[in-house]
């Protein structure tokens, strides 16, 4: 049986429905520019009906707002997270390869190409003036500049490697911090939703953290329902980071000097492990972390390196170790060509005798032209040189030549008995265009080939960066079209709920007049 004031209750429910709708609308408008905020809606339904008169039919009892929902599409989130990881990887590679490119760029006035060219030009000027000490000194000076620049380029690459290493450590800390925050939010969301409510703002905070995490590392989110509520797990590169109320953490462990993957790596590069001691698998990795590791550790894996102890730590990518190796090959080859007139593998180069086979101004047999410094910083002058020990870091000019330019061997004949024929210097000028020195051709072909390979990698990284930036932006726009706040739509809702409120108030006025007439007017 209906209450005597049943209609008042129905009208009151309409007032509260309108009021709650306006509250949700005002919250949407207030957060229209809040990053990560998802549009909320008042969840409205008809109140439980009552049996009609004499048990026939049902009488509506009004409406009620039973909760506040969140408009968000999980499918678009997953799509965005996948694309965001790839964007992060190539965005970082593009920036870092640009730094590497400055060393090898054939257009750079301070690049390897220019340095080698200036050195070879100085040798050409000595061809007809080998007896002039000034010209000899000039050659030694340009050779010294060549050596110093190579050393500088190698150190620059290694410093970049160190910077990337620091970024790896910082990124691991960020990932751990995000996992802690996600666990904390999982607990808060679970607690707040035990009564059936929706912790929308907390969910938005969590989704925003997952957006950030997906840029750092490829992220997968799994949501499962249980009898106690929803549970959320987060996997990075297929490995569990967050398991609802608990999380694993990553740790960075510095390699010792005897643990270096590449002999020219900086000491203390970090390996990433779980705190349990299990190595973090990088197979299939993407995101900023992938970009950092590829540039920091990347080298081309060959049959010789595939089975080595540290092969699993080498990223099969042309990163800093690869280009340091290219510099090493350059200086090892140049050193052997100038010293002995041989290619790096020991093959004689036709028409080039080498500096150690010439005679200096005093008629003495030539010494080394290029060599290296040992671990104690001492210049090695032994003509029986182990060229595999030369690197871009320890590459050096012979100390004998630096201290006395007259020791520069210019002649193939003994200058104490014959006039210097200047043949060694003439042979050196032919090195510039000799196509048998490197498998790529002459020295400039080698440098330009390396530069071109780097340019291709950089262009590919840039193309992928631009492509994924565009499609990630499109996916984000799709998400915003679903979950973002439209002020025009909220204005429409505001008017709708305002009109509902006014209509409900007038309904109560009309019901009040009816009851007033019925009770007071008819009762006179």
- Answer for the pair 102, 466: CB distance below 8 angstroms, yes or no: no
Q: By mean pLDDT, which of 33-47, 123-137, 258-272, 309-323 is the weakest?
A: 123-137
Residue 128 has pLDDT above 60, yes or no: no
Buried/exposed 272-303: b ≥16 CB within 10 Å, e otherwise: bebeeeeebebeebbbbbbbbbbbbbbbeeee
pLDDT value for 365: 85
pLDDT digits (tens, 9 = 90+) for 257-290: 888 888 899 999 999 999 999 999 999 999 999 9
What distance in Å separates the CA atoms of residue 495 and residue 498, rounded to the nearest whole number? 5
pLDDT digits (tens, 9 = 90+) for 347-359: 999 989 999 998 8
Question: 463's torsion region: left (phi>0), alpha (psi -120 to 50) or beta?
Answer: alpha
What distance in Å separates the CA atoms of residue 32 and residue 487, rounded to the nearest whole number? 7
Confidence of residue 468 (pLDDT cuts 50, 70, 90): very high
What radius of gyration do the chain's Cα atoms show? 38
Residue 332 has pLDDT above 90, yes or no: yes
How wide is the angle at C-alpha 122 spanned by C-alphas 118 and 127, nearest 5°?
150
pLDDT value for 127: 61
pLDDT value for 298: 92
**Average pLDDT, integer, range 476-498:** 94
State the pTM of this model. Answer: 0.88
Percent of the chain at pLDDT above 70? 92
Residue 386 has pLDDT above 90, yes or no: yes
Parallel, antiparallel, or unpaired: how do β-strands 298-299 and 315-316 relate?
parallel
Query: What's the mean per-residue pLDDT of the chain?
Result: 88
What distance in Å separates the CA atoms of residue 351 and residue 122, rounded to the nearest whole number? 20
**Average pLDDT, integer, range 383-403:** 94
pLDDT digits (tens, 9 = 90+) for 286-327: 999 999 999 999 998 665 554 455 556 677 899 999 999 999
pLDDT digits (tens, 9 = 90+) for 88-106: 999 999 999 999 988 776 5
Residue 464 has pLDDT above 90, yes or no: yes
Helix axes 74-104, 112-126, angle to 10 degrees: 10
What distance in Å separates the CA atoms of residue 370 and residue 111, rounded to the nearest whole number? 20
pLDDT value for 519: 79
Percent of the chain at pLDDT above 90? 62
Residues 6+ apart with CB under 8 A from 396: 147, 370, 371, 372, 373, 379
What distance in Å separates the CA atoms of residue 501 and residue 490, rounded to the nearest whole number? 16
Q: By mean pLDDT, which of 133-147, 229-243, 246-260 is the weakest?
A: 133-147
- Answer for the pair 111, 103: CB distance below 8 angstroms, yes or no: yes
pLDDT value for 1: 46
Query: Does residue 12 or residue 226 have the better pLDDT?
Result: 12
């Amino acid at each position: 049986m209906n209450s005597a004031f049943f209609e008042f209750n129905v009208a009151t429910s309409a007032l509260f429905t309108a009021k709650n709708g306006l509250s949700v609308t005002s919250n949407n408008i207030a957060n229209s520019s809040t990053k990560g905020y998802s549009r909320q809606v008042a969840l409205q339904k008809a109140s439980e009906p009552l049996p009609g008169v004499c048990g026939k039919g049902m009488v509506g009892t009004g409406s009620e707002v039973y909760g506040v929902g969140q408009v968000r599409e999980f499918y678009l989130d997953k799509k965005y997270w996948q694309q965001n990881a790839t964007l992060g990887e190539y965005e970082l590679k593009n920036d870092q390869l640009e730094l590497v490119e400055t060393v090898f760029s054939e257009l750079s006035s301070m690049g390897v190409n220019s340095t080698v060219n200036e050195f070879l030009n100085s040798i050409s000027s000595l061809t007809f003036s080998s007896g002039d000490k000034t010209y000899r000194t000039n050659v030694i000076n340009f050779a010294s500049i060549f050596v110093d620049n190579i050393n500088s380029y190698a150190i620059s690459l290694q410093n970049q490697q160190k910077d990337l290493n620091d970024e790896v450590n910082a990124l691991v800390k960020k990932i751990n911090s995000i996992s802690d925050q996600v666990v904390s939010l999982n607990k808060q969301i679970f607690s707040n939703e035990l009564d059936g409510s929706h912790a929308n703002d907390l969910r938005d905070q969590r989704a925003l953290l997952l957006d950030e995490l997906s840029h750092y590392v490829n992220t997968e989110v799994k949501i499962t329902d249980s009898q106690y509520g929803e549970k959320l797990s987060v996997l990075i590169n297929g490995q569990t980071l967050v398991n609802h109320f608990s999380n694993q953490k990553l740790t960075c462990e510095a390699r010792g000097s005897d643990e270096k993957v590449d002999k020219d790596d900086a000491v203390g590069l970090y390996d990433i492990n779980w705190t349990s001691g299990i190595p973090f698998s990088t197979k299939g990795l993407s995101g900023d972390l992938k970009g950092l590791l590829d540039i920091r550790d990347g080298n081309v894996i060959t049959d010789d390196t595939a089975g080595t102890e540290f092969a699993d730590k080498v990223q099969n990518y042309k990163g800093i170790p690869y280009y340091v190796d290219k510099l090493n090959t350059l200086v090892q080859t140049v050193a052997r060509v100038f010293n002995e007139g041989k290619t790096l593998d020991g093959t004689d180069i036709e028409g080039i005798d080498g500096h150690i086979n010439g005679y200096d101004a005093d008629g003495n047999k030539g010494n080394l032209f290029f060599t290296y410094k040992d671990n104690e910083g001492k210049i090695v002058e032994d003509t029986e040189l182990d060229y595999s020990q030369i690197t871009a870091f320890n590459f050096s000019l012979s100390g004998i030549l630096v201290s006395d330019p007259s020791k520069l061997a210019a002649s193939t004949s003994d200058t104490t008995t014959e006039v210097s024929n200047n043949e060694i210097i003439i042979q050196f000028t032919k090195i510039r265009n000799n196509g048998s020195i490197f498998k790529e051709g002459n020295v400039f072909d080698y440098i330009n080939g390396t530069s071109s390979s780097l340019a291709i990698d950089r262009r590919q990284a840039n193309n992928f960066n631009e492509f994924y930036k565009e499609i990630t932006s499109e996916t984000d726009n799709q998400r915003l079209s679903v979950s973002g706040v439209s002020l025009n739509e909220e204005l429409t809702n505001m008017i709708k709920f305002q009109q509902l409120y006014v209509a409900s108030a007038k309904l109560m006025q009309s019901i009040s007049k009816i009851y007033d007439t019925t009770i007071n007017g008819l009762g006179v």
